[in-house]
Structure 1
Amino acid sequence: MEGLVKVGQLILGLSILVSLHEFGHYITAKWFKMRVDRFYLFFDFLFPIPTLLNFALFKKKIGETEYGLGWFPLGGYVSIAGMIDETQDASKLSATPEPWEFRGKPAWQRLIVMLGGIIVNVILGVLIFWGISFKEGNNYISKAELNKEGLYAGVLGKEVGFQLGDKVLKVNGEDFHSYTDIAGAILEDKTVYTVDRNGKTVEIVIPSDFLNKLSDQKGEFIQPLYKFKVARVAEPKEASFLDKLLGNPAPAPAPAYTAGMKDGDEIVSINGTPVKFFQTFKEELQKYKNKPVTLAIMRAGKADTLRMTTAEDGTLGFFPEYLVQKSHEDYTLGQAFVVGAGNAFDVVWKNIQGFKKIFAGQVRADKALSGPFEIADMYGSHWDWLNFWSLTGLLSMALAFMNLLPIPALDGGHALFLLFEIITGRPPSEKFMERAQQVGTVILLGLMVFVLGNGAFKKFFS
């Protein structure tokens, strides 16, 4: 069921993004009185070969346009008469452009049509971030709150020089507002953290190739130190349909449930070792995988003891509540627009920084590029509308950026050729456009295979 929720959110999110992107091309083409032959969500052929396995799950012709739902669930397309793209080549075009064809319109109109999808994705991204900013405001861990207890240094944090309890004073020599500023600074070309360590000022410089290690997610970087209590104890699960069919028993109840742990319990120590913070609690618990432990707890203000045997992965089976004081800011509609637009375009800026690091050799492409598997994991196994719209807004801006890249077959490639035509006064030949389209399609297909293969490998074999 959790897998279905992930896939469902991924399909819904991508359907919204692709449909609106293609609508941007569609509405601008209709605005300039171009004939639109097809409007499809997903491909009705085996991409990138438009003549192979042609069938649609649904199609209906309204006026001059056929609207449909393809079977190949990656992307979608709008087929505009007289345009060389993934759905048609130069050989299918007549010698003389018709007035309702894409190629029969002025270059500036064709440029707007090519940028229509990108424009709509940007508008969608800004609207989503605007709405989230207005509804949710800004919840953050302030610098003062963060430095009450200091930072937790995970494996990667310790590797670069952080220690438990470090208090961050500056990032790249400047003051900061919240924990988010600290976490986001890791994308900068050279990041230097100035910290207070037991009254002594220390500078921690992040190596240029650090993002490669961070993307492996084999060790945590830095986090606020979280005091905690038990929010919810995991309930016993019933046997799955397949287990019932095979006669297998239901999974054993979680150790916390069996031992009688209650919602609201505060864990004080493990086998006599104090565990004030959730991160130090997890570290200590990992020493006792599948072993008996004694927990000292506080329940409704009274001391108590629980004894249990941890699971094989060193967990007990409860969900924590972090006892951290978050600050909150409400925004007016106007303020929310400024903040939301800033957050939206910050996604583009981070993409630019990411590509810069890839080309500079500081980050490996297989670590930086995410495919459907990673995106589905980001949506999560539980339906959370705030997370759904936040991630969809982020993907909308990322899609706009990716489509603007000057690669033939992408909108940015078409736009580049149109700018050449506007500047020089003459268009590239239709044969050149067809060859460029083919080269661009091969590049995109190779990138798609790389991303899907890399995602599948990390999902199932790493």
Structure 2
Amino acid sequence: MELAIKIFQFILSISILVILHELGHFLPAKYFKTKVEKFYLFFDPWFSVAKKKIGETEYGIGWLPFGGYVKIAGMVDESMDTEQLKQPAQPWEFRAKPAWQRLIIMMGGVTVNFFLAWIIYSCLSLFNGEQYIDLNKFQNGIGISEAGKKMGFQSGDKIVSIDGKPAERLENASINILFSNNVTVLRDGKEVSFKVKDEGIADVIRQREAKLYITPRIPMVIDSLVTPSAKTSGLAVGDRVISINGQKTAFFDEAGTILSQNKGKTTVVEVERNGTMQTLASVPVDKNGKLGVAVDQKGMAKVVTNKHYSFGESIPRGLERTIEALTMQVKQFKIMFNSKIQGYKNVGGPIAIVKNMPVDQSADGSFSINWPAFWSFTAMFSIWLAFLNLIPIPGLDGGHVIFTLYEMIVGKPVPQKVLENAQMVGVIFLLGLMLLIFGSDIFKIITNKF
């Protein structure tokens, strides 16, 4: 049931985005009296699931749910149908229209994606507000994983700024740090700036712990005893762990390294219980480096901020979130093509997206759609489509835009043969990119790395 809901959300989100994106091309094309031969949700190689011709346009649904398209007469597109281009241009063809009209038609999809994300983010800010983990409330600084240490952080650091911009939200900061040039922290009462090391970034991406390598520092107070060995170890609910094997572990993050060094062994644990210190001489550590206890998370509530927006505030906030999402997409290319980090090895395709679609689970075990999370994902994905289509690669909107701008600047169109060859190169590149993405998904399934 959970998988079915995730697949439904993915298809619903893609359908909304594709239809609106293609409408962004379709409507200005019709306005400029350009013939649109096809309008399809999803791709239809060899056959379509459904189709109906209304006027001059065939509307349909394809069977391959990875996009959609409008086929505009007189335009070299991914179909590579060049037969009609061998004939003289007709007034109703794309190639016969002025360059400025063609530019508007090609930019329509990206424009719709941008404004759709803006509208969604504005509505989310207005109706749901925003809840985030506030870095300014980290009284004890940050706890970090081994990957975080490799990046240059130390436990107890307080993040001040990222690339000179104040850091406020952990959710944003933990991602922005991966793309940053330098980070400033408050360490031992002094501000320290450093360049984040690629080695640590590579570990974060490889281990898929982008939201976990930095955490609030919370006292290691035992909330429950989970395993049988923990229940017979002498530990008790409410104990505050002070040290392990003589090494100070006042905070939860400090315990991880010490415990990992003592996997499968017994340790000496000092705890504070009811105001008095007690020493437990033989506490077992399991093979995973765990004590078998759950830590009290009540301290987390103290670092959470809930922010609400009025109608007037939600609109600029929606634009701000849209620009933040767009900036994030641009920055991700820095990691994808960084030879040291090799981010391309961790790209995810439709299978990865479906796996990470948000769902709610009720007390009885049933699953349902988390609508705020769904719309947040849709807005983010809309911006991703806008960014992807703006890349100046033949076969994408950005490629057509570049050729049209060239014509407007130079005063003469790009030769038809050049357009056809460029389109072919673009299609081959995009097919190769899709092969990489699908191959990455399949490899992760085979190696059980999802």
TM-score by length of 2: 0.79
Aligned letter for 1:427? Answer: P
The answer (yes or no) to whether the contact 1:34–1:80 under 8 Å persists in 2 is: yes
Aligned letter for 1:165? Answer: G
Alpha-carbon distance in 2 for matches of 1:33, 1:404 = 25
Deviation at 1:322, TM superposition (A): 5.1
Residues 374 and 368 of structure 1: CA distance in aligned 2, closer, same or farther (over 3 Å): same
Work out whether 1:329 is the aligned partner of 2:307: yes
The answer (yes or no) to whether the contact 1:354–1:368 under 8 Å persists in 2 is: no
Deviation at 1:4, TM superposition (A): 2.7
Alpha-carbon distance in 2 for matches of 1:340, 1:228 = 38
Does the residue aligned with 2:69 lie in a helix, a strand or coil?
A: strand
Q: Which residue of 1 aligns with 2:88?
A: 96
The answer (yes or no) to whether the contact 1:185–1:191 under 8 Å persists in 2 is: no
The answer (yes or no) to whether the contact 1:172–1:192 under 8 Å persists in 2 is: yes
Q: Which residue of 2 aligns with 1:41?
A: 41
Residues 208 and 32 of structure 1: CA distance in aligned 2, closer, same or farther (over 3 Å): same
Residues 276 and 459 of structure 1: CA distance in aligned 2, closer, same or farther (over 3 Å): farther
Unaligned 5+ segments in structure 2 are: 274-282, 361-368
Deviation at 1:15, TM superposition (A): 1.7
**Deviation string for 1:379-407 (max 9, x for gaps)?**
24543222211121111111101101110
Work out whether 1:142 is the aligned partner of 2:105: no
The answer (yes or no) to whether the contact 1:24–1:119 under 8 Å persists in 2 is: yes
Work out whether 1:456 is the aligned partner of 2:448: no
Q: Which residue of 2 aligns with 1:16?
A: 16
Residues 285 and 2 of structure 1: CA distance in aligned 2, closer, same or farther (over 3 Å): farther
Q: Which residue of 2 aligns with 1:346?
A: 324
Residues 11 and 280 of structure 1: CA distance in aligned 2, closer, same or farther (over 3 Å): farther
The answer (yes or no) to whether the contact 2:262–2:289 under 8 Å persists in 1 is: no
Aligned letter for 1:14? Answer: I
The match for 2:349 among 371, 389, 392 is 371
Work out whether 1:418 is the aligned partner of 2:404: yes
Alpha-carbon distance in 2 for matches of 1:172, 1:416 = 32
Residues 297 and 414 of structure 1: CA distance in aligned 2, closer, same or farther (over 3 Å): farther
Alpha-carbon distance in 1 for matches of 2:150, 2:191 = 18
Q: Which residue of 2 aligns with 1:63?
A: 55
Work out whether 1:206 is the aligned partner of 2:196: yes
**Deviation string for 1:255-303 (max 9, x for gaps)?**
69xx9xxxxx966468997987665687788799999999x999xxxxx
The answer (yes or no) to whether the contact 2:151–2:201 under 8 Å persists in 1 is: no
Alpha-carbon distance in 2 for matches of 1:231, 1:123 = 46
Q: Which residue of 2 aligns with 1:393?
A: 379
The answer (yes or no) to whether the contact 2:223–2:238 under 8 Å persists in 1 is: no
Work out whether 1:217 is the aligned partner of 2:231: no
Residue identity over aligned pairs, in percent, reads 36
Aligned letter for 1:460? Answer: I
The answer (yes or no) to whether the contact 1:255–1:310 under 8 Å persists in 2 is: no
Residues 396 and 175 of structure 1: CA distance in aligned 2, closer, same or farther (over 3 Å): closer
Aligned letter for 2:350? Answer: P
**Deviation string for 1:286-323 (max 9, x for gaps)?**
799999999x999xxxxxxxx99989896979898554
Alpha-carbon distance in 1 for matches of 2:105, 2:164 = 45
Alpha-carbon distance in 2 for matches of 1:297, 1:5 = 46
The answer (yes or no) to whether the contact 1:228–1:321 under 8 Å persists in 2 is: no
Deviation at 1:78, TM superposition (A): 0.7
Residues 42 and 149 of structure 1: CA distance in aligned 2, closer, same or farther (over 3 Å): same
Deviation at 1:67, TM superposition (A): 1.3
Unaligned 5+ segments in structure 1 are: 46-53, 234-253, 260-264, 299-306
The match for 1:133 among 117, 125, 130 is 125
Q: Which residue of 1 aligns with 2:168?
A: 177
Aligned-residue CA RMSD in angstroms? Answer: 3.9
The answer (yes or no) to whether the contact 1:82–1:103 under 8 Å persists in 2 is: yes
Aligned letter for 2:146? Answer: V
Q: For this pair of structures, how many residues does the alignment match?
A: 419
Q: Which residue of 1 aligns with 2:276?
A: none
Aligned letter for 1:18? Answer: V
TM-score by length of 1: 0.77
Residues 439 and 131 of structure 1: CA distance in aligned 2, closer, same or farther (over 3 Å): same
Does the residue aligned with 1:398 lie in a helix, a strand or coil?
A: helix
Does the residue aligned with 2:83 lie in a helix, a strand or coil?
A: helix
